[in-house]
């Protein structure tokens, strides 16, 4: 069964055709990053307009030479004016092709990304059917989400931990902005940190806070404190560190190459320290979550799952817990239509006439049927 997946929840206009939930036959992603760069973050109105301009071309390119048996679309969570564009395009297409429409949750789709492949050599091509693997623990970690999800079986989801404020990707992006590295910041911080740690492996890092929520705060979310993170304190600690070291961002300091970016060594040191605080926060909550169940796999998805240090540290955490780590192929870590199309083979958050009537749902909860 070939499903066309459409994704416009944030700043990527994306469409893909996936066969039987796993094999990616086409995958087209148009990223709007350059449009948002001057503003240092995603501007919903600009995102919406760019989706409108690109959606026909992106969907047309993805469908070229493919037959389609159903159309799947992200209808939440995400930015309302962005979601609406993909949802309306999907409704029109499903109607005109006379095929069913399936509404999909963006976060759940990220957790399906380790199962999709576009080459028989991919690790994902060798994995068992996701319906045979559970129970699984998932972590969707991106610019908009940082959430640990218990998946007792394929298609069943329960949030067991999450960020109480910023998502990890947002924490990376805000730090990059503060340090003058531009937007988005995740990949730059990743590369600068890796280069710094290779050159100065024994240099102690700045002891930034590791994302522990304040006592009592998690009671509001009703989730166990040991599975929740808060990155707002980390962000403030970075700001304070910059204020207390006025020379840090001075233009007069000599810059050096760190991972392809020209920055003063003192800035690279702060960048590596900040990244480590985020990575250790994620590792710590993952360790605690793995202890709570007898999981047969840990699935990792979302833009931040591309981070080399996140991957390395979580590989160790999973190996110590004797739980296989399933990670998305790098091209499928960020937002894409293939994860949406793939998941729709196994799961329908909303389908049939209900899907055709569905509205965009910016705060869509994980696990709804």
* Chain positions contacting ligand KG4, by CB under 6 A: 10, 142-144, 169, 172-173, 184-187, 190, 302-304, 306-307, 334-335
Q: 187 vs 242, which CB is nearer to ligand KG4?
A: 187
Smallest distance, Å, CB 144 to ligand KG4? 4
Q: Cβ of 247: how many Cβ atoms within 10 Å? A: 9
Closer residue to ligand KG4, CB minimum distance, 118 or 173:
173
State in angstroms the smallest separation of the CB of 106 from ligand KG4.
7
230 vs 351, which CB is nearer to ligand KG4? 230
In whole angstroms, how close is the CB of 322 to ligand KG4 at the nearest point?
A: 27
- Least spacing, CB of residue 279 vs ligand KG4, in Å: 9
CB of 78 to ligand KG4, least distance (A): 8
Q: Which is nearer to ligand KG4, 225 or 338 (CB)?
A: 338
Half-sphere exposure at residue 112, Cβ-oriented, CA atoms within 13 angstroms = 34
Cα angle for residues 30, 32, 36 (degrees, 5° grid): 175
Task: Give me the least distance between CB of 74 and ligand KG4, in Å please.
Answer: 10
End-to-end alpha carbon distance in the chain: 21
What is the b/e burial string over 204-219, where b = at least 16 CB atoms within 10 angstroms of the residue's CB?
A: ebbebbbbbbeeeebe
Q: Please, is 266 exposed, middle or buried when counting C-beta atoms within 10 Å of its C-beta (0-12, 13-18, 19+)?
A: middle
Minimal CA–CA distance to 146: which of 238, 276, 282, 277?
A: 282
Measured from the CB atom, the residue of 10 and 223 that comes closer to ligand KG4 is 10
Q: How far apart are CA 284 and CA 286, in angstroms?
A: 5
Nearer to ligand KG4, 13 or 142 (CB): 142
335, 7 Cβ separation under 8 angstroms = yes
Helix/strand/coil for 329: coil
Strand locations in the chain (E): 2-7, 12-19, 23-31, 70-76, 101-105, 136-141, 146-151, 158-162, 256-258, 261-263, 297-301, 325-327, 350-351
What is the nearest approach in angstroms of ligand KG4 to the Cβ of residue 181? 11
Query: How far, in whole angstroms, is CA 123 from its chain's centroid?
Result: 20
State the nearest-atom distance from the C-beta of 313 to ligand KG4, in Å.
12
Cβ–Cβ < 8 Å for 10, 78:
yes
Q: Which is nearer to ligand KG4, 172 or 295 (CB)?
A: 172
Report the residue count for the chain: 369
In angstroms, rounded to a whole number, what is the distance separating the alpha carbons of residues 137 and 261?
A: 35
Closer to ligand KG4 by Cβ: residue 27 or 142: 142
């Amino acid at each position: 069964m070939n499903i066309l997946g459409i994704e416009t929840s944030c700043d990527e206009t994306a469409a893909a055709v996936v066969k039987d939930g796993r094999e990616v036959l086409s995958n087209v992603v148009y990223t709007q990053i350059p449009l948002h760069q001057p503003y240092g973050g995603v501007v919903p109105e600009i995102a919406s307009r760019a989706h409108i301009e690109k959606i026909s071309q992106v969907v047309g390119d993805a469908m070229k030479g493919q037959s389609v048996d159903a159309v799947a679309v992200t209808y939440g969570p995400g930015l309302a004016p962005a979601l609406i564009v993909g949802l309306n395009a999907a409704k029109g297409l499903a109607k005109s092709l006379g095929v069913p429409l399936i509404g999909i949750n963006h976060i759940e789709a990220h957790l399906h990304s380790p199962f999709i492949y576009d080459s028989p050599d991919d690790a994902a091509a060798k994995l068992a059917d996701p319906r045979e693997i559970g129970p699984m623990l998932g972590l969707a970690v991106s610019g908009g989400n940082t959430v640990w999800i218990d998946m007792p079986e394929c298609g069943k989801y329960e949030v067991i931990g999450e960020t109480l404020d910023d998502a990890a990707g947002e924490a990376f992006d805000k730090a990059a902005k503060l340090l003058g590295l531009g937007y988005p910041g995740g990949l730059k911080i990743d590369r600068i940190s890796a280069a710094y740690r290779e050159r100065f492996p024994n240099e102690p890092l700045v002891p930034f806070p590791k994302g522990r929520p304040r006592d009592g705060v998690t009671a509001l979310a009703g989730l166990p404190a040991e599975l929740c993170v808060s990155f707002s304190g980390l962000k403030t600690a970075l700001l304070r560190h910059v204020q207390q070291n006025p020379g840090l961002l001075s233009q007069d300091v000599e810059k050096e190459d760190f991972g392809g970016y020209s920055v003063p060594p003192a800035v690279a040191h702060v960048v590596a320290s900040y990244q480590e605080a985020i990575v250790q926060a994620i590792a710590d909550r993952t360790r605690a979550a793995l202890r709570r169940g007898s999981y047969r796999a840990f699935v990792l998805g979302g833009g931040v799952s591309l981070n080399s240090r996140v991957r390395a540290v979580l590989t160790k955490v999973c190996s110590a817990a004797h739980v296989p780590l399933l990670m998305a192929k790098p091209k499928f870590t960020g937002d894409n239509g293939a994860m949406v199309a793939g998941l729709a083979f196994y799961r329908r958050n909303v389908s049939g006439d209900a899907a055709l009537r569905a509205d965009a749902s910016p705060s869509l909860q994980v696990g709804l049927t």
